[in-house]
Structure 1
Amino acid sequence: MTHPTLLLLSGSLRKGSYNRMLLAQAAEAFGPANVIEGDLDLPLYNGDLEEAEGVPEKVKTLAAQIKDADAVVVGSPEYNKGITGVLKNGLDWISRLPGWPLKDKPTVVVSASAGRTGGETAQFMTLSCLTQHQARLIPGTAVLIAGAMNAFDDDGRLKDETSQKLLTERMEGLRAELG
């Protein structure tokens, strides 16, 4: 597949987030692709809202983006030793739609965090949530960028050559899954 669609999902809504920077680097390392950023700025899941108004259009759009993507990269920041509410909420919403959009979708999770473990706990939790969605999680060494406030240069690029090499290897592995 020469020009696949790569969907990026950031568990942080902040435009200048470290995970958005990491996702941008992941997309570059993935190679030529139609890159789309999914929008996780969704209303909080509420069964009463769903019953009264149905699934919000933004959720339907996200599910369609996931379904149409050839591969997904999730940027999972760590907030208070766990998955962000934004990311969990997005996963909860899309689970309400028929067809399981993430089922069998080649997926990699990466993390950048200010803490010393680089988001390891959040990444573990995110992988667990994605397993329930039946995503095809691509194995490999975890991309965990610790001390993220010092890990990127002024242009939002990873400073550390070892981290960049690891990210590139993960993205090459993801691309190889597409055939």
Structure 2
Amino acid sequence: MSVRIVALVGSLRAGSTNRQLAEAAAKLAPAGSEVAILDGLGELPFYNEDIDVEGTVPAIATELRQAVAQADAVLLFSPEYNGTMPAVLKNAIDWLSRPYGAGAISGKPVAVLGTAFGQYGGVWAQDAARKAAGVAGGNVLEDVKLSIPGSVTRFAETHPVDDAEVAAQLTALLGQVHAAVSA
């Protein structure tokens, strides 16, 4: 069974360490799995029911929904902005939650991970993302976590895929996501 995992990155910054972590996940995906990073979250308009009507849904929102609907699982990569997840990630979750009870994320295994400059690696943001994804209908894998602190210094000269500890942790996490899909 081939497992397709979609990755959404909550940082739009060029050189984002969370983007690099997602790239590492794509490289370290276990045999039989593929991690595809979805781009374009910065172009996604803020969720508004007035534009979420057949015939007026923005193309980027339709593409996001289709990509997640076709995936077997979702990875949410979240930095921490002012103690919570970035608006771009929350907005993507909002689009994926509709229509209520039947959104593209409904029932999908969802794992939240990330890296942040602070000493806890963005755990508040990741907890907020888990909560939002669960309310949106995702099957949040509560025990599948990875929070990497000190991102600015830890990855200043090393890509996460080249950090042996991070690569091992990420490989284990991806194995858990794969197993959740196969269960």
- Is the structural similarity TM-score above 0.5? yes
Structure 2: gaps spanning 5 or more residues: none
Mapped to 1, the partners of 2:87 and 2:139 lie a distance apart of 23
Instruction: State the Cα distance separating 1:40 from its structure 2 match.
Output: 1.4
Structure 1: gaps spanning 5 or more residues: none
Q: What is the SS of the residue equivalent to 2:60?
A: helix
5 Å-filtered alignment, 1:76-155, equals: 76-97=78-99, 99-140=102-143, 142-152=145-155, 154=157
Give the 3 Å change call, closer, same or farther, for CA 168–135 of structure 1 in structure 2. Answer: same
- Which amino acid is 2:81 matched to? Y
Give the 3 Å change call, closer, same or farther, for CA 124–158 of structure 1 in structure 2. Answer: same
Q: Does 1:157 align with 2:157?
A: no
How many matched pairs?
178
Instruction: State the Cα distance separating 1:137 from its structure 2 match.
Output: 1.7
Cα displacement string for residues 23-77 of structure 1 (whole angstroms, at most 9, x for unaligned residues): 1222233224343222312112234444697321100110110000111111011
Mapped to 2, the partners of 1:173 and 1:146 lie a distance apart of 21
- Which amino acid is 1:28 matched to? K
Instruction: State the Cα distance separating 1:155 from its structure 2 match.
Output: 5.6
The normalised TM-score by structure 1 is: 0.87
Instruction: State the Cα distance separating 1:140 from its structure 2 match.
Output: 2.6
**% of aligned pairs identical?**
31
Moved more, 59-68 or 23-32: 23-32
Give the 3 Å change call, closer, same or farther, for CA 64–141 of structure 1 in structure 2. Answer: closer
Moved more, 70-79 or 91-100: 91-100
- Tell me if structure 1 keeps the 8 A contact 2:112–2:144: no
Q: What is the SS of the residue equivalent to 2:74?
A: strand
- Which amino acid is 1:18 matched to? T
5 Å-filtered alignment, 1:31-110, equals: 31-32=30-31, 33-38=33-38, 39-41=40-42, 42-50=44-52, 54-97=56-99, 99-110=102-113
- Tell me if structure 1 keeps the 8 A contact 2:111–2:144: no
The normalised TM-score by structure 2 is: 0.85
- Which amino acid is 1:40 matched to? L
Moved more, 85-94 or 133-142: 133-142
